[in-house]
Amino acid sequence: MHRPQILAWPSRPGLLTLAIVCVAASSVWGIAAAQGVDKAGDEHLESLYVAPADREECNLDQDCDDWCNEHGKGRRCACRCPKFASDADFSCASAIKHCQALPRNFWGGGFNMTAKSFGKECKKHINLMVVFTASSCLHCTDFEPAYRWATPWMQARGVEVGRVDVDQNKEFADDHGVTSLPAIKFFQKCKDKGVYKGVHSIEGMQNYTEKVTGKAYAHLRTSDEVSRFARAHPISVIGFFESPDGESDEVDDFSEAAEELKFTHNTYFGMVTKRDAIAPFKGQSDSLWLKKSPSVVVFRNLEGGGEEDQERETLLMSEMNSRLKDWIMERSVRLVDEITNANFVYYESLKKPMVLLFLDRKQSNRGLLASMKAVAKRFHGKLSFGWLDGVAYAGKMSALGLTSTKLPALAINTMQHGRFAFPSTGQFTESGFTLFVEDFLAGRLKPGSQAEEG
């Protein structure tokens, strides 16, 4: 038995849930998938290839049981994309998925290590990414292609990838705070830099490599560079300093925060010190980014979204009453974001109850999301808020006690696997959402129950 996934979706045993597969999908933020990796001659990859004549279409892993008995050669099988093993592809259309054997454990990475060998390896490699999986962890095999093909690219840029079998190194994993599998931690000069909370994909690991081996912040010299940077990352943090010599304390605070948050996967820093680059964004209008210098602006960008989807918060540094790092971290989560395979692991890491709104994408949901955002702003820090495609995740709705065919729908899922369904008579309005959340926080709801009427 492995440690339970925090905020795991209630599900039938044996089914891969969103909490399990969340770290496998690709993200569009950043660079493309691994290039130039020579896959020819990889005997294990060749052994996973399924000839067209032997392919069997599927929708669920269970559909492959009979195929596996005939073709699996004693290995575990699943329903995956044609390029799953060769490209770590999870994003193909369902119509082209077919049954196939899954890769073996510890196929990817640079080398296997143990608690005993860790000290030697971290001294040997300045930048060391440690991937915690386990021989008995069935779903961990889903990430082996990403580990396999990302590793050579990372090694070429000075980051080594070590693998740890938690079955054989449980105490070592516990000492490093590993609470779910798979997990990745980054070490630089043997110093623990924290858990990698991004996507366990080729692209996600490459993006992270570029981030941790680069500079803590970028110098933005023109207004065009500032505009592009503000939208370029999931979280963009820009410091504006018109008189850097006279604002040296604030510049130092900003630099320190950038260094401290360098090892986060999604937060990028830029600094502007040229007056002509700052001028277009400064003024008294609420539509402008800052009123005075020095200021720090945090931008939360929605993947694939437009300018209207961007969230922005500004801090006048003379009014700062906490550490800048803490202020930024508190503002690094969108008030209401779409919960997807790519970002679920990040929301999971927040360790807060999740308010989940299920929507029909074919309908206009702007009003519902605006109401949810207002409630999220009111209860910021106490819960996390997100929405999901109710058609794609109908099974998850049922697991949370909701009627899978009725949209919109709302529920709260907790770290203790508690399920709180929105009452069937509840109003999908700001006041209705507020009452539901207040009842939850006050302890007036029981797991699986509906909110009290009236």
Contacts of 281 (CB under 8 A, 6+ apart): 223, 226, 240, 288, 289, 290
pLDDT surpasses 50 at 34: no
Q: Which of 330, 343, 412 is nearest to 372 (CA)?
A: 412
3-state percent helix, strand, coil for the chain, nearest multiple of 5: 35, 20, 45
Task: Report the range of poorest mean pLDDT among 92-106, 163-177, 273-287, 436-450.
Answer: 436-450
Which pLDDT score, from 0 to 100, does residue 17 have?
Answer: 38
For the stretch 2-17, pLDDT in tens is 433 333 343 323 223 3
The model carries a pTM of 0.76
Which pLDDT score, from 0 to 100, does residue 343 have?
Answer: 67
pLDDT surpasses 90 at 201: yes
CATH number of the 218-330 domain: 3.40.30.10
pLDDT surpasses 90 at 154: yes
Which pLDDT score, from 0 to 100, does residue 294 have?
Answer: 97
Q: Please indicate whether the domains covering 218-330 and 352-441 agree at the CATH topology level.
A: yes
Q: Which of 194, 188, 190 is nearest to 214 (CA)?
A: 188
Alpha-carbon dihedral 319, 256, 230, 367, rounded to 10 degrees: -60
> Residue 186 belongs to what H/E stretch?
strand 183-188
Q: Residue 331 and residue 354: Cα distance in Å, rounded? A: 17
Bridge partner list, 186: 129
Residue 354 near residue 413 (C-beta atoms within 8 A) = yes
pLDDT surpasses 70 at 18: no
Domain ranges in the chain? 37-101, 218-330, 352-441
For the stretch 44-64, pLDDT in tens is 999 999 999 999 999 999 999
Which pLDDT score, from 0 to 100, does residue 22 have?
Answer: 38
Highest mean pLDDT, choosing among 242-246, 350-354, 399-403: 242-246
Q: Which of 21, 74, 85, 76 is nearest to 50 (CA)?
A: 85
Q: Where residue 37 falls among pLDDT bands split at 50, 70, 90?
A: confident
**In degrees, to the nearest 5, what angle opens at C-alpha 185 toward C-alphas 183 and 189?**
160
Highest mean pLDDT, choosing among 35-44, 275-284, 383-392, 409-418: 275-284
Which pLDDT score, from 0 to 100, does residue 57 have?
Answer: 96
Task: Report the range of poorest mean pLDDT among 98-102, 211-215, 243-247, 318-322.
Answer: 318-322
Task: Report the range of poorest mean pLDDT among 268-282, 290-304, 332-346.
Answer: 332-346
| Residue whose tokens read 């900003």 | 254
Which pLDDT score, from 0 to 100, does residue 196 have?
Answer: 94
Average pLDDT, the chain: 87
Share of the chain above pLDDT 70, in %: 88
pLDDT surpasses 50 at 32: no
Q: Residue 163 and residue 130: Cα distance in Å, rounded? A: 6
- Which one-letter DSSP state was computed for residue 77? E
**In degrees, to the nearest 5, what angle opens at C-alpha 217 toward C-alphas 213 and 218?**
105
Which pLDDT score, from 0 to 100, does residue 303 have?
Answer: 67
Which pLDDT score, from 0 to 100, does residue 304 have?
Answer: 59
Which pLDDT score, from 0 to 100, does residue 269 have?
Answer: 98
Share of the chain above pLDDT 90, in %: 68
In this structure, what token pair is assigned to residue 24?
């496998």
Q: Residue 144 and residue 120: Cα distance in Å, rounded? A: 25
For the stretch 285-310, pLDDT in tens is 989 999 999 999 999 987 655 667 78
For the stretch 396-430, pLDDT in tens is 888 888 887 899 999 999 877 688 999 888 999 99
Which pLDDT score, from 0 to 100, does residue 9 have?
Answer: 40
- Fold of the CATH domain 352-441: Glutaredoxin (3.40.30)
